[in-house]
Structure 1
Amino acid sequence: MATKTRSGSGNKTNKSNEESLFNWGGNQAGVLVGAAVAGAAVGFAANMGRKLFVQMTSGASGDWADALATEHALTLAIFDKIEATDDSNTAMRAHLLAKLKYALTKHALQEENVVYPALRQANSAHDADALNSEHGYVKTYLYELENLAKDSPEWLARVRDFRAMIEEHMRMEEDEVFPALRNTLSEDQNAKLTALMHKEGFKFA
C-alpha cells in the first residue's frame, strides 16, 4: 500500500510539473500575449518614427522643389565621403554605395511618380522624358559600381564619372525645370504637389 501511495503522489507531482513547464494557460498566456502585442506596437512605432525622420530630413524646409534640392545636397555629401576613401577601404565603399543607392532610389521614386507626371500635365513632357531617361543611367552606374571590385583603380574613377552626370542632372532640375514648373502652379497646387511627393517618399523611407 505504501508503494502504491507513493506512486500516486509521484504521478500528481509529474502532472503538476508538466502543466507548469509545457502548458501556458491562464495568466501566463495573458502575460505572454500582452508582451508580444506591446513589443509589436513598440516596433511599429519605432519604424514609423524612423520613416518620419528620414522623410522630414529632406522636407523640413520649403516646398517640393526645396525638399528635392535638399536631397540633392545630401546625395552629394555621400559622394564626398566615397571620394575620400582609398582602395583599401572596401567595406566602407560598399557601405557608402548602399547609402547612395538608397538615397537615389527614394529620390527617383518621388520624381518619377509625382513630379515628372506633374511636368507632363504642365506641357513640359520633353523635360520630364529627358530627366526620366537619365534615371536609367543612374541605375546603370549603380549596377556597375556594385559589381566592380571595390579595390579596383577603376572604381573611384567610375564614381567621379557618375557624380559628374548626377550634378548635371541636378543643375538642370534646380536651375531650369523645377523653378519653371513651380511658377506655373498656384499656391494650392504647389502645396498639393508637396504633400503628394512626401507621401511617395514616406513609402520608401
Structure 2
Amino acid sequence: MVSSLDDTKRKAIATKLADIKLIQQLLIENEQLFLRESSDSEISDRFRKILEDDQKNLGILETVIVQYGNPGQPKDTVQQMVDKVRQLMQGSELTFFEKVFQHELLKHQQVMSGLLVHKAAQKVGADVMAAIGPLNTINFENRAHQEQLKGVVEVLGVRELTGQDADQGIWARVQDAIAAFSGVVGSAVTQGTDKQDMNIQDVIRLDHNKVNVLFAEIAKSNDPQKLQEYFGQLYKDLTAHAEAEEEVVYPRARAFYGQDDTQELYDEQAEMKRLLDEIKAIDPSSSQFKDRIKNLATIVMDHVRQEESTLFAAIRNNLSSDQSEQWATEFKAAKSKIQQRLAKETQGSAR
C-alpha cells in the first residue's frame, strides 16, 4: 500500500523556501523604510528600483512555493532573527549606514539560500527542479542587488566616518559589475519569468509541466521507495490542482466554454481522482502499480491537451489580461489552502 508522502528532503526544502519568503518580506519592509529615511536622491532611486524588483520577486516566490506543493513553516530561529532585525530597523539604535549594512547581509543570505535550494533540488528530483525553476530569476536579481548595495554601503559609510562624499567612481564600478553579471548569466535564465503577474494559463501550464515530469520519473524508476515518493507528490499535486480548478476556473469558464465541454473536464478529473485513490492502495513493487499509472497518465494527458488547446483559447478570447491574472491569483490562493489541508490530513493519518 502506498502511504502518504513523508520525505524528509522535500520537507527540508519546504522549510527553506518558507525561510526565504520570510526574509523576502523583511527586505521589502526595510526598503520601504529606507525610502522614508533617505535624503539622497540617487540612493533613493536605487532603493526604489530594488524595492520594485523585490515586490515582483515575492510574487514569483509565492508561485514557486505553490508549485512545489509541500507547505512549510519558517524555522523558529529564522523567525526570531527576523523579529530582532525588524525591531532594530524600526528603532533608532542603528544609524542609516548601519541599517543598510545589515540589509546587504540579508541580501547575501537570500542569495545563498536560493542557490542552496537549487542545488538541493538537483539531488531530490526532476519534479522539484521543475517547480523551483523560477527561483533563478530571484537569485540573479538578488546578486545584482548585492552589487548595488555594496556601493550604497560605501557611500554612506564614508559619509558617516569622514563627513565627506565618497569617490563617485563607486557607482560606475557597481554598474559595470551589474552589467557584466547580468550579461553573462541573467538574461538567458530569467527570460520569460520576469513578469510580476502570471495569467491563469501560465499557472495551469506550470502544473501540467510538473506532473509530466513526475510521470516520466515514475516510468523510468524501479525503486519502490522512489516510486512511493514520486507518486506521493503526484497524488498531492493532481489533487490540489483539480480542486483549485473546480473551485476557481471551471464554474466561471462554463459561461463561455459551454456546458458540455466544461462537464467533460469535471468528468475527466473525477476519473483521475478515482484512479489516484485506487493506485494509492497498490504496492509500488507490484506490476499493477505501473499499469495503473499508465492509465492515469493517459487520462491526465488527454485532459491537459483539452485544457491547453480549447479551454485556453476560450479564456484568451473572453477574458482581459487583468481578469486572467486575477484568476491566476485566486487559483494559487485556493491551491495553497488545499495543500495546507492535505498536509494536515497527512499529519493526522500518520499519528
Instruction: Give the TM-score taking structure 1 as reference length.
Output: 0.69
Residue 217 of structure 2 aligns to which amino acid in structure 1?
K
CA displacement 1:98-149 (0-9 Å, x = unmatched): 1001111111122100110111233522222110111111111111111112
Alignment of 1:66-77 (within 5 A): 66-77=202-213
What's the offset of the Cα at 1:70?
Answer: 1.2
Is contact 1:107-1:201 (8 Å) kept?
yes
Distance in structure 1 (CA, Å) of the matches to 2:246 and 2:210 = 19
Is contact 1:138-1:162 (8 Å) kept?
yes
Residue 208 of structure 2 aligns to which amino acid in structure 1?
H
Corresponding position of 1:55: 66
Runs of 4+ in 1 over 3 A off after TM superposition: 45-51, 56-62
Corresponding position of 1:133: 267
- Structure 1 position 92 matched with structure 2 position 64: no
Corresponding position of 2:328: 194
2:242 to 94, 105, 108: 108
Is contact 1:119-1:127 (8 Å) kept?
no
1:46 to 3, 13, 18: 18
Classify 1:159/1:56 alpha carbon distance in 2 versus 1 (closer, same or farther; 3 Å): closer
Corresponding position of 1:164: 298
Residue 219 of structure 2 aligns to which amino acid in structure 1?
E
SS of 1:148's partner is coil
Classify 1:47/1:101 alpha carbon distance in 2 versus 1 (closer, same or farther; 3 Å): farther
CA RMSD of aligned residues (A): 2.6
Distance in structure 1 (CA, Å) of the matches to 2:260 and 2:270 = 16
1:178 to 269, 294, 312: 312
What are structure 1's unaligned runs of at least 5 residues?
1-42
SS of 2:285's partner is coil
What are structure 2's unaligned runs of at least 5 residues?
1-14, 23-60, 69-130, 135-192, 340-351
Distance in structure 1 (CA, Å) of the matches to 2:276 and 2:18 = 30
SS of 1:140's partner is helix
CA displacement 1:23-54 (0-9 Å, x = unmatched): xxxxxxxxxxxxxxxxxxxx8x9389499332
SS of 2:217's partner is helix
Structure of larger gyration radius: 1
SS of 1:149's partner is coil
Distance in structure 1 (CA, Å) of the matches to 2:235 and 2:21 = 22
Q: Name the count of aligned residue pairs.
A: 160
Corresponding position of 2:123: none
Is contact 2:256-2:314 (8 Å) kept?
no
Is contact 1:119-1:125 (8 Å) kept?
no
Is contact 2:200-2:328 (8 Å) kept?
yes
Question: Which is bigger in relative contact order (C-alpha 8 A, separation at least 6)?
Answer: 1
- Structure 1 position 81 matched with structure 2 position 217: yes
Is contact 2:67-2:206 (8 Å) kept?
no
- Structure 1 position 147 matched with structure 2 position 284: no
SS of 1:122's partner is helix
Classify 1:48/1:139 alpha carbon distance in 2 versus 1 (closer, same or farther; 3 Å): farther
Corresponding position of 1:15: none
Corresponding position of 1:8: none
Is contact 2:275-2:296 (8 Å) kept?
yes
Residue 251 of structure 2 aligns to which amino acid in structure 1?
P
